[in-house]
Homo-oligomer: A and B are copies of this chain.
Amino acid sequence: MTDKISIVGAGLVGSLLGISLKQKGFNVTLFEKRKDPRKTEKYKGRSINLALSRRGILALQSVNIFDKIEPLLIPMTGRMVHDVKGRLTFQPYGKEGQCINSVSRGRLNEILIEELEKSGVNLNFDHQCETVDIENSTLGFLNGKKEKSDVIFGADGAFSIIRKHLQQSDRFNFSQHYIDHGYKELDMTPLNGDFAMEPNSLHIWPRGNFMLIALPNQDKTFTCTLFFPFEGATSFHSLMNENGILSFFERYFPDVLPLIPDVAEQYQKNLTSSLVTIKSCPWYKNRTLILGDASHAIVPFYGQGMNAGFEDVRLFTELAEKMNWEWQKILPAFSSIRKQDTDAISELALNNFIEMRCHVGKTDFLKRKELEAKLQDAYPKDWIPLYSMVTFSDLSYAEALRLGKIQQKVLDEFLYEKSENLDFEKIVDRFNTLKKAG
């Protein structure tokens, strides 16, 4: 177990992987292009809060550091849907006690890096990786350093340098697909020293082709995110000047306007970012493997990007242990097994955008949710709603997607009959029959 392991990227996934492999006794070195985030004034980077759920928690627990993370979390037990008149509807995410957790990306990353350091991993910030010699497992850095390893992991995010080098090899499948929407973050400060809205919810303002959401932060602010088309009649492109922005918020988000009085200024100042889905296959060549966003970046609408990346680390470590750390077998096996799951969550995340921006405010959607909750109450082992399979279980994403499609089909069949008294037993029987049929 004295193999020398290099990990490129000390973001969330790279850091957790470093901790996990160090615990298994390997000689682990991390390289990160940015400076040590603990020494820079404020974390600057992508979206500043994330939703940690079951899969992420399991991965953190598997390396015994969840207790360090737990104090950072703000539980969100459901969606708080805001209609255009500012009226609220609360939709619980799951059963009593089930929640997702708002957490600051920056603080989470800092704690992981502290754990890395404590565990004795070699940490190299300010190391921009530029080349990967995949044949010889050797990294080259902007500062001229070369580093040969037994195994290289690329956890360097959606625009991975390691993946770019894999991409140059023959028969590497790759896609990057941008959706028509971008996003812009807006800060909502506390009101009279407290959260300006109910803190234990994920707030959504569904508006059809666009939406606003808000997640709570520990400093009693909310981070609001506007998901909005880049082009079109109502879009980032069309909405530019102060008056336009204010009347847009007045029309669509009237309850938000008093809580973000400087919304026009923030809108004009803050970046507009794009949203990409990245797929690749295979994730490895020789002794180099990419994981996390580097191999499967997804859109954020299921709150599963980080959770999927953390689950990569847990599943990789478990598989490697089972395969006696024979790298040449583990890398292909992990790549082919795990890809089915990340393809599934990728599809689910895209679908959930439509659910969030269009459906969550609609009666049909609420009725179906209610029916599913009742089915789950009556048959808790047989009927677990899709959202719960994805968010509150560790069932593989691929199986969750498969079962979710069957559920949809079965509900479509029974609701089509419009019977007032639905026979729950029949519904569950039908579901179980289709489930077994594969």
Chain A: residues with CB nearer than 8 A to chain B?
Answer: 167, 170-178, 230, 274
Which of B171, B178, B230 is in CB contact (< 8 Å) with A178?
A: B171
Sort A-B residue pairs by CB-CB distance and give the 5 closest, nearest first.
Answer: A175-B175, A171-B178, A173-B177, A171-B274, A174-B176
Q: How far is the CA of A176 from the CA of B174 in the complex (A)?
A: 5
Interface of A is mostly: strand
Which of B175, B177, B274 is in CB contact (< 8 Å) with A177?
A: B175
List chain B residues, Cβ under 8 A from A170: 178, 274
Nearest B-chain residue to A177, judged by Cβ: B173
Tell which of A167, A170, A230 has the most Cβ of chain B within 10 Å: A170
What is the distance, in angstroms, from A12's C-beta to the closest C-beta of chain B? 23
Q: This chain: how many copies in the complex?
A: 2
Is the Cβ of A176 less than 8 Å from the Cβ of B176?
no
Q: How far is the CA of A172 from the CA of B276 in the complex (A)?
A: 10
Which of B167, B178, B230 is in CB contact (< 8 Å) with A173?
A: B178
What is the distance, in angstroms, from A339's C-beta to the closest C-beta of chain B? 14
* Given A173-B178, A175-B175, 5 extra CB contacts under 8 A: A170-B178, A171-B178, A172-B178, A173-B175, A175-B176
What is the distance, in angstroms, from A253's C-beta to the closest C-beta of chain B? 26
List chain B residues, Cβ under 8 A from A173: 175-178
What is the distance, in angstroms, from A166's C-beta to the closest C-beta of chain B? 12
What is the distance, in angstroms, from A70's C-beta to the closest C-beta of chain B? 37
Q: How far is the CA of A357 from the CA of B173 in the complex (A)?
A: 23
What is the distance, in angstroms, from A274's C-beta to the closest C-beta of chain B? 5
Nearest B-chain residue to A180, judged by Cβ: B171
What is the distance, in angstroms, from A83's C-beta to the closest C-beta of chain B? 31
18 contacts between A and B (CB under 8 A): A167-B176, A170-B178, A170-B274, A171-B178, A171-B230, A171-B274, A172-B176, A172-B178, A173-B175, A173-B176, A173-B177, A173-B178, A174-B174, A174-B175, A174-B176, A175-B175, A175-B176, A175-B177
